[in-house]
Structure 1
Amino acid sequence: MVLEGQSKTDLQSLPIETTTVRVDGRNWTVYSELVLTMFLWGLAWPVGRLLATDLPPVSIAALRYAIVVPVLFGILKIKGQPIRLERKWIANLVIMGLFSTTLYQIFFLYGVRYAAASDDSLVIGIGPVLIAIMASFVLNERMTKTKGLGFISGLAGIGVISLLSPNTAVLNRLLGISLVFGGAVAYAIYTVTLRRFVGANRADNT
């Protein structure tokens, strides 16, 4: 039955409008989770520095993953997602674990021990630029002038922080910043390796 003043086209559009509202609601959830992630990531730098000045950095990393791993498996169990591991993945997973977990954590925790957390958090920001540069060589992604300019400006920013930062009450600013930059390089290698790994497995499954 069609009411006066309404057409079938108007009625057919109602489910579409309702669906759009639901999508917007999910988007707000995603954005809220992203904001929370940003907050927790930013909090890791001052907290990491406080811990690294009194405790061995490697011990902090071990304690961190002793907490994180059970939580991750708990989330997977709650969501009912199976854990599947194929033998051909092992080499790639070991390489990614070496760069993203071992090397990155060592560089990060030793870096915040020797330099100010605020300086280190700015240096790590060059990570996306490093990923873009590496991806252009490893994944054959397009290399643009913008990427090159971003890399140069990022290095210039690191130089300014290293030489002109007002945070002088630290053990060794240059060493700390160099270590954090090494962490950014390690994480960039991990990210590019992950992209190639995911792309290869997606191609195998199609």
Structure 2
Amino acid sequence: MSVEATRMGGLPGGLSARSVAAMLLLAVMWGLSIPVTKLGLETMPPLTLTALRFVVAVPLLFLLVVGRQRLPWRAFPSVAALGILGISVGQVAQSFGVQGTSASAGTIISATIPVFVVIFAAFRLKQAVTARQQVGLVAAFAGIALVAIGNGPEGAQAASTSLSGAVWLLLSAVAVAFYYVWSVELTDEFGTTTVAAWSTLVGFLAMLPFAAWEASHTPFHVTAQALWAGAYLGVAVTVAGLFLWLHLLRTVPARVAASVQYLQPVVGILAASLMFGDRLGLFFALGVLLILGGLGLAVATRQAPEMAVPHE
């Protein structure tokens, strides 16, 4: 490395120290999403916690939209449908899934979103799926099955993952992945921040009646822990994560930025172990290896879709 590169904070491969730090920070922020959701669900039901998250996120998103591109009326039906898919279905299903899984299992199953992105990009964006990617998809789904099964007494924590919880998380992964792929078309025409703000608002409004019904029929306590969880999910995961991701897409190649997806489950599993004492059995460990290996193969493509609106 040259003296000038060192002075400028440059690293081999054209990356700057600032870009690497941003990628690591984003991996931590998004990786903590499932464990923090698990904390919030200890005292608050799923729909109510999700509503709290977007009560925080929506005003912040619209503050960032001020002075930017306006959303034309002709775009509203598509953006509204995007919000219902990504927020009302994707994020609500994730909360129900996290409620029915261990934090570690939830983190790993949610990490399959890039796999579904590859599948949907093949159909909607006409991107070919290579033989390597097909092997990766099969490996990832086999890993999901192992994570869901657990490992008897040795995998006691993994055994707390119910089939229904795993199904909810898979539904969330499917909805969010299609949200990403569809958003590529909309954000190219109407702007990322504008589409993110309006789709989030519509998705939030669509789920409010159900959240209100749940809150009126389910006893719960509004604790500092639940409020902190909702604030973290709204500010760090939804809003700050979005703009940190956009910054990375502007400063490093999309394939490099996408490597954040590999780090998220690692952060999530470590956090779950520290926060909940998750003990990972043999089946769980094998499932993790299969999923991470499958993810690596599934996203290994020369032209991956640039997902302008991120997860988690």
Measure the CA separation in 2 of the matches of 1:37 and 1:201.
Answer: 25
The corresponding residue for 1:102 is 88
Are 1:139 and 1:196, in contact at CA under 8 Å, matched by a contact in 2? Answer: no
Larger Rg computed on CA atoms: 1
Cα shift at 1:115: 0.8
**Higher share in helix:** 1
Deviation of residue 135 (structure 1)? 0.8
Encode CA deviations 1:35-82: one digit per residue, 9 max, x unaligned. 2221111222112112223212111111111111222334455xxx42
Aligned to 2:117: 131
2:150 alignment partner, one of 164, 176, 182: 164
Once residues 177 and 162 of structure 1 are traced to their aligned partners in structure 2, the CA distance between those partners, rounded to angstroms, is: 6
TM-score by length of structure 2 reads 0.52
Counterpart Cα distance in 1 of 2:70 and 2:10: 30
Q: Tell me if the contact between 2:149 and 2:159 (Cα under 8 Å) persists in the aligned partners.
A: no
- Deviation by residue 1:69-117 (Cα, 9 ceiling, x = unmatched): 222334455xxx4241111211221121112111111111111111101
**Structure 1 gaps, min length 5:** 1-16
| Counterpart contact for 1:129–1:151, Cα < 8 Å | yes
Q: Name the amino acid aligned to 2:27.
A: M
In the alignment, is residue 48 of structure 1 matched against residue 37 of structure 2?
yes
- Paired AA for residue 43 in structure 1: L
- Over aligned residues, Cα RMSD in angstroms? 2.7
- State how far apart, in whole Å, the 1-side matches of 2:90 and 2:175 are: 6
Give the AA of the match of 2:52.
L
Change (3 A) 1:168 1:121: closer
**Which residue does the alignment assign to 2:186?**
197
Matched residues in 2 for 1:23 and 1:201: separation? 34
Could you say what secondary structure the match of 2:111 adopts?
Answer: helix
Q: Name structure 2 gaps, 5 residues minimum.
A: 192-312
Range that drifts further, 192-201 or 115-124:
192-201
Counting matched residue pairs gives 181
Report how far residue 145 of structure 1 moved: 0.9
1:68-87 counterparts in 2 under 5 A?
68-76=57-65, 81-87=67-73
Counterpart residue type for residue 121 of structure 2: A
* Structure 1 residue aligned with 2:78: 92
Deviation of 1:22 (Å): 8.1
Runs (4+) of structure 1 exceeding 4 A deviation are: 22-26, 199-202
